[in-house]
Structure formats: C-alpha cells, structure tokens
Chains A and B, each alone.
Chain A
C-alpha cells in the first residue's frame, strides 16, 4: 500500500516541521490518516482485529515519534486502537451470542452484554479484557448507527446474524473494518464539533457581569466565551497577550468583533489584575491522566495567581486532548523549546553571542519553552465535550476512551495480541 505509506510520510514530515498548528487540527488529521490506513489495510481471515491493531500501531508509532510533544497524535492513535478493540469485541460477542441463542433477533447486537445470560468463554475473556471500560452510554450510542448501517449496506441484507456468523467469515471481516471506519468517522466528527459541545455549557458557568481572564488564544476558549455572549450574557474579558506568540492579540480582536468588552493586558500584569477577576478560563495543550495540564507557556503562573486569590481556574478542552499517560517531569520531558528569535532579535544580540565562540561556551542562553505544566491541584474544573469534571476524575474519564492495552504504543513491548 504505497499510497498510504506516502500519506504517512507526508504527515510525519508535517509533524516534524511543526507545520500543523493546534491540537485539534492535529487530532483531526491523525484520525483521517488512520482511517485511510485502516481502509487500505488488507485483512486476513484470522485475527482481523489483531492485524488492524498492528497496522495502526505501526503507523501510530511513526507519528508519535515525529512529534512526541504533540500528545494529541498519540491520543488519537490510542482512541483508534480502542475503537478497533471495541468493535472486535462487540462483533465477537454478537457472533457468539448469535450462535448460542438461535432465536437471536436482528437487533441483537444493539443489546449490551448484560442482556445475554449465557456468554461463551471467549466473550467472557474479551469482556474481562475491557473491564476497565464498562459499557458507556456513548459507545452504545456509537454502536447504533453502525449496526443500522450494517444492515442497510450489507450485501447479505436482511439475513440473520446466525447465518452470517456461522458461514460467512469474509463478510464478518468486512463488517469489522466497516464498523471501525464508521467509528473513526464518528471520532473525526467528535473532534470537529467538540467546540460546539463545550461552548454549549458556557452559560452554565458564566454569569452576568463576570470578569474573566484568559491567556493567549485558544479556539475552544473563544467559542466558549462567544457562546455565552450570544446567550445575551454581558461580561468582560481580560486577555493576557501570551508572549512570545502574542496570540492574545488575535483573541482580543476576535472577541471584540463579537462585541465583548475586552481588555488586553501584558502577561506580567496578570498578578495585578487577577484580584479583580472572577474566573480564569484557559485552553490546554493536553490533559494528563492525573489531572495535570500541559498548557501554553505562562499558565502555571496564572494558575498560581488564581489560586492565591481563590479565583476558579477552569480548563476547557476537547476530549481529544485527554491523554492517558501520567506525566513524569512534564516541564522538561513534555516540553518544546522554540526559537530564541521570538525573544531576542538575532541581529541585536549577535555580538553578544559571539562571546561564546572564544571559549567554546556561549555566555548567552535564551530559553523559550512552548508549554507549561499546571499541576492538578491548581485546576478547579475541566470542561470537556462530555461535561465538567474534577481533576481527580480525569483518570476515569480517560478509561472511557482508551484501552489499558494501548497505553504504550511501541513496537518492542508490543507482543500482545
């Protein structure tokens, strides 16, 4: 499958060159790429899910290695792997259920596992594998269109599951792939619409005359604030400009265009102003399993100031930013140092940098990190597309989205399956 490989290489290059801005775009493109990987993947007769998983893992590994700090890539890879496992499981249980219960009806697979009194050993094992993730409403909902779609598009049409299970292996494998692709489409849809879902909750959190502070620019935050504005809330926003990218300026402009009272402040004035702020709403780069946040640089400072003044620190983030990893030394390991030219003109300090050429060690170092780590104790609330959550609940939310087997995506230890 050369075309897939070239797609992957292309994407890897983009990631390496940091051409893709923002985790949402990254997540969407990753999902799309994985979808094409899956659709191109040739499926063997046995262990179809395993083959798919291996293929996705192989690609995912490359993608993650291309930009390890862009956690959204890894998140999406894991989400897709999880989807494959889920679909496989539901197919297996449906098949076994179909075999065991001859009187199984057409919509048998829509029922959840509890409805089946007698499960085979294989199904039990499969269920045990995913004990971390008991059936959630969302996956049930995800299943519904799949099932119906299957029935509409399936070549065998309206014929019963019992027949297909026993005889038609190829249709089943096609069905798995199909289901997976459908689910990935769902995922892409989710990623695309996460802003709206988050923004819907805005009025529940913003009251009249509120003063809100944010730093830098996050599309989620922008949509969140604008949604509240559209619901006729009037409030004012302080925007810290977010050096060295100064995206706060852009955000301010967008907010003003929507008619919000906006004040731009320097990052250094955050502490001075936070005493007059009712709530801090910021975006995130990634949310870790412990509830910590990898956020644009400067947010740790804001969070500390907010804590000092007992101002709620709210993080809005789509669920594609939920990362199932527990961070270790995230300030360094999950960070990225950007070009010093953001801070200092090369021309201006070139003479100073020359000092270094004499004795080998430069006198001047410029540090320009991209991210900050905000520990969970500084975060008051996460607002994701599934609602508001405490930092301490994040691990559980993550268990809904990821399978425990996929936490490590690396070829070496990938012996399972």
Chain B
C-alpha cells in the first residue's frame, strides 16, 4: 500500500498467486461490491478512455492484456473485473458524485486484505531476480507497471500501461516504421511487440516520469479509435519516455543500452506518428504544453529586492512593509495591516481596469470578511462571472487573449489584497484554461455565456456537490456515542457535523480553537444554535481532551501531492496529538483544492497574518505587555496562517472521489487536473 512495503519483497513466490488478484479490484475500487462485478462497459468508454482516479483499466486495455497475458492463464480471470471500472462516471457526471465509487471506506481501513493486495503487487515488482519467471507467468505486466509498489491507486492503470511499457522496451528495428504504417493494423502491431517482448528482456520498472508519460499518452489518445490508439500510445510513450531523463533510472545495466535504443527509435516514432495522426499530435503537443504550464512556476520570493521593487511599481494596492519582520520569513509578503484599505477605497472610482465586482471581493479579502478556502474561491469566481458578463472585447483584439489578460490583472489585484489560496489558484487555472479552449468559431456572447456556465458548473460541481459527496462519505464514519474533535472552522466539517446531527446520530463535538482568529467560536455558535452538544477548548488543552475523543475531523486549505495537508495553523499539532493518542484523523477536503506542489515544512510557503493580532487578546485587557511591541527591534511577532501536517498523521482523506489514504493524493491530483483541463 505504501512504498515502504515494496521493500519487503519476494521471499514468498506464492504471493503471485492469482487468486488474490481477483478480489483485489473489488476492494480497491468502488464501495458497493456488486457494482464492480457488473460494470457497465458502455459507461466506461464514452467519456473517453480517461481513467478515473480510483481506477482500473478500461476495456480496450483489458482485451489487450488478455492477448498479452495469454501466457499467464492463471492471471487472466482476475482481470476482467479489474479492467472494467464502474467508476467512469465519476468525473463528468455530477449526479454521479453521490454514488461515486471509491474505495470502500471500511475496506481501506479495516481490511488487511486490501493492503495485502498491494503488498502482493509490490512484491511482484520488487523481485528483479525473478523477473524472467514473472514475465513468463504473465504477471510481468504487473512488474513493469508498478513503480516499486508506489502509488497504489495507479496500479489498476499501471497494469495496462505496463503492457505498453513492456513494448517500449522492444528495440525491434522494424517498429518505428511499423508504427506509421500499421497504424490501422493494430493486430499485427500488437503481435509484433508481443513477440519481441518475450524475446527481449523487459525494462524492469517504469519510472515516475515514464508513468506520467504513459498517462499523457492515454490522454492524448482519447479520441482515437481502438486500433490506432494502441500504436499511437506506444509511439508517444517511447517519445516521452526518452525525453524524460528519469526514464533512464529505472533500468539496470542492460537497461541503459535499451534506453539508448529506445531513445533512438523514439524520435523516429514520433516523426511518423506526427505525420500520420496530425490531429492527435495536436493533442500531444497540448499535453506537453499543459505539462509545462502545470509545473508550478516559482512563486514570488519577497526577499528578492529587485523583483519586489518591480512588483511594487505595478501594484494597485499601496502596501507598507510591516516592521520587525521575522528573519525566517523574509521570503513571504507581510504588510502593515489596515493601511491599504482607505487608500483602496478612495481609489474605487479611479481604478479603470478593475471590475467593481472584483474590486469588492478584493476589499473583502483585505478586511477579512471572506475567509475560508471555499468561500474565497466562490466569491472570486462569482466576481469573475460578473466581470465576464460585462466584458466587451475591445476592437482588434481576440476575446481569448484579451480576457485572459484581463483575468490576469484581476488576479494580481486579488493577490495584492491577500495571497491566493491554493483553491483559488486551481480555480483560476481552470478558468484560464476554459478561456484558452474556447472554440474560435464562437461569437462573443456565446463565448461569454459558455464561460459563465463553466464557472457555474465549477462552483456547483467542484465545490457544492463535492461537499455533499464528502458529507455523504464522512457521515458513514460517525457512530452513535462518538466524540468528534474538530479544529478551527472548516465548512466541510461543519456540513458533516450538521448532517450527522440531522440524521439523528448521537455524538458530541469537541471544538478546539486557537488564537488569533478564534474561528472556532463562530463554528461553536452555529453548532450550538442547531442543538449539537459541544465542548470548547483551546489548542493547548488538546492533549487533555484527546483522551475522550474517538475521531478527529479536520478541514484543509489544500492537500499537496506528497500527502501533506496544508491547513490552518495548528492543524498539524492537533493531528499530531491525535496520532499520539491513536485517534484516527480524517481530513475532509474537496478535490479541487489538491495541488501537485510538494512541501515538507511550513516555512517555505505560507501566509503571514497581521502581527498586531498577536499582541492583543480580545476580551482580555489585562494582557497588554506587548502593547508597544514595535518599539524594540529585538521583538518580533509572528502570525503564521497555515501549517503543513505530515501525511503520516493522517488516517484518511475524505474527498469527493471517495475516501483515500494520503498516499493516493498524487493520483487524484493527476487525474483531477487532467479532467478539468480536458473536459
């Protein structure tokens, strides 16, 4: 299940027995077992061959694997259920969210067998020595597909990718030519590589980069027909694999030679493929561009003087640097609080390019009226919607470009008001993508209408319905007599608690709160108004109260792809204490907040709040020793807004795709991004 187990390896060859693989998919995928056994194949294919996160190969691959695995007859029975995922509808069909397959929650945590399943897979992988035998028995497909037992959720997919990757290792001289020529003669092509694959040693593992490449390939190949697709995918795969430097890493001594050959062939393949399938090539290019774009561009570092100066010149909002900055956080922006507001207000009518709706939202960010990842994101999107409604393409300009620039300027204004949350960043990325993808044939009004409906769709699908799905999942984790602890105020957790209460579950809520925001008091008030039994305490007392707690529900500002939960400062402490007391920690987070960034500490990226909020304690006038804190250069106040919770404190992440372990976050990130970029 997690990469560590991969190392356990090999001692028992019996692990490879097939019997185990058959139930595996049922377990790893969707909740209701019967749905996995009777997967509507038609449901799987229509929205393309894209793979849902909790995913398993689509049928075409299944057939491929059938062919390729024919040697390993034992394995075959296991595959049809694997291949046919019932989960396809997750991505596009909003209504489907409710029934979305996912892990069967109880299975993840309760069932050893689920993890054993992964163990088994990884053990297969980890046996380089037995590779030959493995391959013969057909499960070599697994071996090639699994990156040392890495991301469990990819396995379903990796399985059939493995087929492809096994083919990439074929340095058959005729292949490049064959690709182009036999585009529509898939049977032959498939036979050929298969033969070759048997003859030549397989590449033993695919690296991450390769896997990603495979993914891209599949994505690009979405619209292709069954026959051409396979070959095309192959060509893409080779092309990309050779590009990725990491690709060289996986293979052994013999592997490097292979790699070289593969690289040689790849360029040819690519050329050929590009000639034949120009349409698909467009897709390919797009995917690479996307990929580049998706690599998070370096954030502004505020300890870089020259760039800060430049940025200041552009800035709409006049900010004055806060005094007594903490040395460790020079790279983050920190401004005097409250000084910008009057200035901005006076500018209200002068700010020509700024749409009033955006302006209003910006001001509300600044004052702290709107806070919370979802609320901020929705407010921003609605403001953009307004702005788009009122947008007129200037003469001699293209809507697509001009609007993107416009949105860009809005965004930078919002950033000046308050650094973007990751959820907002993702939403902006979505919007820009939609603008870029607008068909040129659309008239301006149509384009605007389409964008507005896109925004609406994003809000309802990715946020509102996602929350409903999360609630639906999470409520199953609340039992009578539970004592649920939550920290701060998370909208998702609040919905969960209220819903569970409405369902008549008998439970108690512990709200842990901390300075300076004391958001928990607002939550406490709302919950008490609805009649929930609440206990309120501060974060220092969390180890005192943890004895009686049975579950911890936390919200998150974002979940990063190394499984780290980026959330309100203090979340990490709460999760840590819960972990120490062996209380399960459930993080509730919509999938649109996931981000591919990785982070280890809470310092490299964070947000600094108003330091004055620390010196004053509301309602406690007698605490005033820091009243004049700015007078001494030796004293700094640090008001961190977020922290990162290491993934090992997290028992489970509840998201709109279901309940997943933190190790599966990168899968969701990848799948999710693909989905909202391509639909």
Contact = CB atoms under 8 A, between A and B. Distances in A.
Nearest to B617: A246
B544 A304 contact: no
A335 interface: yes
A305 interface: yes
A331 B544 contact: yes
Contact of A267 (B328, B514, B632, B644): B514
Contacts of B634: 256, 259-262
A86 interface: no
Interface stretch (A218-226, A285-293, A344-352): A344-352
Nearest to A369: B544
Interface in A28-55: none
A343 B535 CA distance: 12
Contacts of B521: 344, 348-349
B531 interface: yes
B156 to A, nearest CB: 34
B515 A243 contact: yes
A276 B638 CA distance: 14
B539 A272 contact: no
Give the bracket for the number of chain B residues in contact with chain A: 35 or more
Contacts of A305: 573, 576
A363 B533 contact: yes
Interface stretch (A93-101, A182-190, A247-255, A401-409): A247-255
Given A241-B614, A269-B643, A367-B544, A275 B539 contact: no
B382 interface: no
Contact of B577 (A300, A343, A366, A373): A300
Given A243-B538, A364-B528, A304 B625 contact: no
A303 B254 CA distance: 51
Nearest to B516: A266
Interface in B579-622: 580, 601-603, 606, 614-615, 617, 619-620
A269 B577 contact: no
A185 B277 CA distance: 97
B249 interface: no
A113 interface: no
A367 B643 contact: no
The winner among B535, B538, B572 for most chain A CB atoms within 10 A is B538
A230 to B, nearest CB: 15
A301 B535 contact: no
A193 B35 CA distance: 75
A249 B644 CA distance: 25
Contacts of B617: 246
B528 A304 contact: no
Contacts of B636: 262-264
B561 to A, nearest CB: 20
Contacts of B534: 363-365
A214 to B, nearest CB: 14
A363 to B, nearest CB: 5
Contact of A249 (B516, B545, B626, B639): B626
A352 B529 CA distance: 7
Nearest to B535: A365
B494 to A, nearest CB: 16
A264 B638 contact: yes
A395 interface: no
A297 interface: yes
B640 interface: yes
A270 B515 contact: no
Interface in B478-529: 513-516, 521, 524-525, 528-529
Interface in A376-403: none
Contacts of B543: 300-301, 304, 331, 372-373
A76 to B, nearest CB: 27
Residue picked from B521, B544, B623, B640, most chain A C-beta under 10 Å: B544
A355 B617 CA distance: 27
A343 B532 contact: no
B626 A253 contact: yes
Given A297-B541, A368-B537, A265 B640 contact: yes
B539 A298 contact: yes
B623 A343 contact: no
A269 B640 contact: yes
Nearest to A309: B601
A253 B627 CA distance: 10
A60 interface: no
Given A243-B515, A263-B326, A355-B528, A268 B638 contact: no
B547 interface: yes
A367 B524 contact: no
Given A253-B625, A261-B634, A266-B514, A275 B603 contact: yes
Interface string B626-646: 100100101111111011101
A308 interface: yes
B635 A271 contact: no
Contacts of A262: 634-636
A238 B638 CA distance: 9
Nearest to B326: A263
A242 interface: yes
B570 interface: yes
B614 A272 contact: no
Contacts of B514: 243, 266-268
Contact of A243 (B540, B576, B606, B646): B540
Nearest to A263: B636
A366 B573 contact: no
B77 to A, nearest CB: 46
B625 A343 contact: no
Interface string B180-211: 00000000000000000000000000000000
A304 B576 contact: yes
Contact of B535 (A266, A352, A366): A366
A252 B626 contact: yes
Interface in A56-93: none
Nearest to B609: A266
A301 B533 contact: no
B569 A269 contact: yes
Interface in B440-487: none
B542 interface: yes
22 contacts: A243-B514, A244-B540, A246-B620, A253-B625, A256-B635, A261-B634, A263-B326, A266-B515, A267-B573, A268-B539, A268-B568, A270-B573, A272-B602, A297-B541, A300-B577, A308-B646, A348-B619, A364-B535, A367-B537, A367-B541, A367-B544, A367-B545
Kindly list the 4 A-B residue pairs having the minimum CB-CB distance in the complex, ordered from nearest. Answer: A268-B570, A298-B540, A272-B602, A268-B514
Given A267-B539, A363-B532, 20 more contacts: A243-B538, A243-B540, A252-B635, A262-B636, A265-B638, A266-B569, A267-B514, A267-B538, A268-B569, A272-B642, A301-B543, A304-B543, A348-B619, A349-B525, A352-B529, A361-B533, A363-B534, A364-B524, A365-B536, A372-B541
Interface of A: 238, 241-244, 246, 249-250, 252-253, 256, 259-273, 275-276, 297-298, 300-301, 304-305, 308, 331-332, 335, 342-345, 348-349, 352, 355, 361, 363-369, 372-373
